[in-house]
Amino acid sequence: MIPPFQFECHSPTVLFGAGRVADLAGRLDQIGKSRALLVTTEGGARRYRQVAEVLASRLRASFDRAVPHCPLEVANAALDAFRRRECDAVVTVGGGSTIGLGKYIAAETGAPHIALPTTLSGSEMTPLFGVLVDGEKRTRREPRALANTVIVDPVLARSLPIRETATTGMNALAHCIEALYVPKRNPLTSQLALTGIDMLYRALRKLADEPADLEARTEAAYGATIGGLMINSVGIGMHHRICHILGGRFEVPHGESNCVVLPHVLAYNASAIPEACSMMALVMGAHPAAALQRLVRDLGAPVALRELGVPADSIIAIASESFHHIDDNPLPVDEAAVLKLLQAAWAGQGPAVS
């Protein structure tokens, strides 16, 4: 029997597939905009010159100073560039850091935002974004921050270093895995989440050996799009609360904290989702928590918080702060449990699977 459920998801228009970057100019024309601000990182400005070329005369200005966690001063500098050059749309290309700037501008101005994701963060699918203020990552969720259009072109991602693909891929997996046990889950989202996990895990395994494999890039992008839908429709849980604290306090890149923390949180919650874990184990060939940590190692990504510069003497404070930000969890959780989990994550130990 399928139980009664409620499903709500306000999604951007998604243009998916190799070569879809060519549709960018036409999409701007469709929504009646012609003065775009192009937002990238400094490296992205070089890597994604094709996007500027496609925009052609519709490119009014560029801002290439996006950095992780969207510090408030950077966000305001981008907003100032948008207003000063009298732009009427914002176009972002890159990962969550860049797309977050686009969301900030859209939320502050009401301008349409077209996002071209090249990482697997899934940020482009949600109205959720964070701004770093005085060492604290403050999250906002505003309808105006939701992108008007998302153009997912896996060809754009082929030049991305495998480490960035790996770390953001683990973030995408976290979105799908958390969707299996957060309170707003339902049969539809759970089925989508399992599809996303299957697609992402298999694709990342391929990319560990062949980083430029277009088919694997396409599969990973598809799984990440599902992950973004999961955040948008059912939200986040304990894992992401911890990662946000790590990002705000120690500027740990969000994807890298996901690599380290996800296997340990999944191991902790596994007994609450036995059927889902069994299905994941069929795909991964082992307990999913252990398989995910092995995948991280194979991708050359970090498995320990100490690798990310998190001080050992900060773990107690991180555990306390994280615990007070955890809203819901399928199993009872206390500060001692979070501390034990983080101590294992700091040392790079294997997840405590049973």
Are residues 338 and 246 located together in one domain of the fold?
Answer: yes
**Any domain includes 27:** yes
Print the domain residue range for 202: 161-347
Say if residue 72's pLDDT is above 80. yes
Are residues 231 and 317 located together in one domain of the fold?
Answer: yes
Say if residue 354's pLDDT is above 80. no
**Any domain includes 8:** no
**Any domain includes 148:** yes
**Residue 242: CATH number of its domain:** 1.20.1090.10
The pLDDT of residue 136: 82
Are residues 253 and 331 located together in one domain of the fold?
Answer: yes
Mean pLDDT value across residues 208-220: 94
The pLDDT of residue 143: 93
**For 15-24, 144-153, 181-190, 194-203, which range has the lowest pLDDT when averaged over its residues?**
181-190
At residue 9 the predicted structure's pLDDT band, cuts being 50, 70 and 90, is confident
**Any domain includes 60:** yes
The number of domains in the chain is: 2
Rounded Cα–Cα distance for residues 296 and 166 (Å): 7
Are residues 137 and 199 located together in one domain of the fold?
Answer: no
Mean pLDDT value across residues 68-74: 92
**Residue 140: CATH number of its domain:** 3.40.50.1970
Q: Of 5-9, 68-72, 148-152, which one has max mean pLDDT?
A: 148-152
Rounded Cα–Cα distance for residues 97 and 107 (Å): 15
Rounded Cα–Cα distance for residues 110 and 87 (Å): 12
Are residues 241 and 218 located together in one domain of the fold?
Answer: yes
Burial of 49: CB neighbours in 10 Å, binned 0-12, 13-18, 19+: exposed
Domain end: 133, 157, 181, which one? 157
Q: List the one residue out of 58, 53, 45, 61 whose CA is nearest residue 21.
A: 53
Are residues 254 and 220 located together in one domain of the fold?
Answer: yes
At residue 251 the predicted structure's pLDDT band, cuts being 50, 70 and 90, is confident
pLDDT in tens, 236-248: 999 999 999 998 8
Are residues 152 and 211 located together in one domain of the fold?
Answer: no
**Any domain includes 5:** no
Are residues 144 and 167 located together in one domain of the fold?
Answer: no
Distance of CA 68 to the CA centre of its chain: 12
DSSP letter at 14? Answer: E
Distance of CA 263 to the CA centre of its chain: 16
**Kind plus residue range of the DSSP H or E element containing 16:** strand 13-16
At residue 7 the predicted structure's pLDDT band, cuts being 50, 70 and 90, is confident
Are residues 102 and 197 located together in one domain of the fold?
Answer: no
Say if residue 1's pLDDT is above 90. no
Are residues 312 and 174 located together in one domain of the fold?
Answer: yes
The pLDDT of residue 82: 98
Domain end: 157, 172, 203, which one? 157
Rounded Cα–Cα distance for residues 207 and 163 (Å): 10
At residue 260 the predicted structure's pLDDT band, cuts being 50, 70 and 90, is very high
The pLDDT of residue 173: 97
Are residues 221 and 93 located together in one domain of the fold?
Answer: no
The pLDDT of residue 138: 86
C-alpha to C-alpha distances, 91 to 22, 106, 221, 261, nearest whole angstrom: 14, 10, 19, 32
SS3 content of the chain, % helix, strand, coil (to 5): 60, 10, 30
**Any domain includes 221:** yes
Are residues 218 and 285 located together in one domain of the fold?
Answer: yes
At residue 171 the predicted structure's pLDDT band, cuts being 50, 70 and 90, is very high
C-alpha to C-alpha distances, 104 to 32, 77, 79, 113, 330, nearest whole angstrom: 21, 11, 8, 10, 32
Rounded to 10 deg, the angle between the 254-269 and 238-250 helix axes is: 150
Say if residue 190's pLDDT is above 90. yes
Domain end: 121, 137, 157, which one? 157
**Any domain includes 96:** yes
Tell me the pTM. Answer: 0.92
**Any domain includes 171:** yes
